[in-house]
């Protein structure tokens, strides 16, 4: 198994950085978070025991790491919000502002729903690749993806972004 050298890493980074950042941004809704997540995901590749000659494996790995980093942030944010809510005795709800209706509705989906939809329809990952990234069974991804699509369609229809289908 060949380790990733500096030149190979730089080339891989240039080919992949935009896709990883876009994935993190669309899921988190924050450019600064996307910057941090993408940077950390690529940093973790340097020390990883992964075949540097397998471009697709590297790509799946960096997306899996980015997904895990986002999940860690969501858990940490939920813990912090819960703690602050108990401390203040009130609800803390932060609503992200987006420029377009689709992004606003997309942002209302659960983080995992956003991540699965993004990987499937923007990155073009297969059900198996998504399953590997999330540590799920392939069949579970199919069900989760179906439910996320239905939910997004319902949200977009309710918001008047797409016409109702009879």
123 DSSP 8-state letter: S
- Of 80, 158, 72, the C-alpha closest to 111 is 72
- Of 70, 46, 59, the C-alpha closest to 19 is 59
Which residues make Cβ contacts (< 8 Å) with residue 30, sequence separation at least 6? 96
114 C-beta neighbours (distance < 10 Å), count: 21
**How far is C-alpha 101 from the geometric centre of its chain's CA atoms?**
19
* Alpha-carbon separation of residue 152 from 12, 98, 100 (angstroms): 33, 16, 15
> Does residue 29 or residue 3 have the better pLDDT?
29
pLDDT of residue 165: 44
> Does residue 9 or residue 93 have the better pLDDT?
9
pLDDT of residue 22: 94
The answer to whether the CB of 37 falls within 8 A of the CB of 66 is yes
Q: How far apart are CA 90 and CA 113, in angstroms?
A: 27
In the predicted model, what is the mean pLDDT of the chain?
A: 80
Task: Write down all domains in the chain, each with its CATH number in brackets.
Answer: 1-94 (1.10.1740), 96-166 (1.10.10.10)
Enter the pTM of the model.
0.55
At 59-110, the pLDDT tens digits run: 988 998 998 888 887 776 665 555 545 545 544 444 444 336 777 788 888 8
At 23-50, the pLDDT tens digits run: 999 888 889 999 999 999 999 888 777 7
């Amino acid at each position: 198994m060949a380790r990733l050298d500096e030149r190979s890493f730089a080339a891989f980074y240039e080919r992949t950085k935009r896709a990883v950042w876009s994935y993190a941004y669309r899921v988190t809704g924050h450019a600064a978070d996307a910057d941090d997540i993408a940077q950390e995901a690529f940093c973790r590749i340097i020390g990883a025991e992964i075949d540097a000659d397998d471009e697709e494996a590297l790509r799946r790995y960096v997306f899996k790491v980015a997904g895990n980093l986002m999940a860690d942030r969501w858990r940490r944010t939920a813990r912090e919000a819960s703690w602050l809510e108990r401390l203040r005795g009130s609800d803390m709800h932060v609503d992200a502002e987006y420029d377009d209706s689709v992004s606003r509705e997309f942002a209302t989906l659960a983080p995992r729903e956003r991540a699965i939809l993004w990987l499937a329809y923007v990155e073009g990952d297969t059900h198996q690749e998504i399953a590997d990234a999330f540590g799920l069974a392939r069949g579970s991804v199919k069900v989760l993806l179906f439910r996320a699509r239905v939910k997004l369609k319902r949200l977009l229809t309710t918001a008047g972004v797409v016409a109702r289908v009879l």
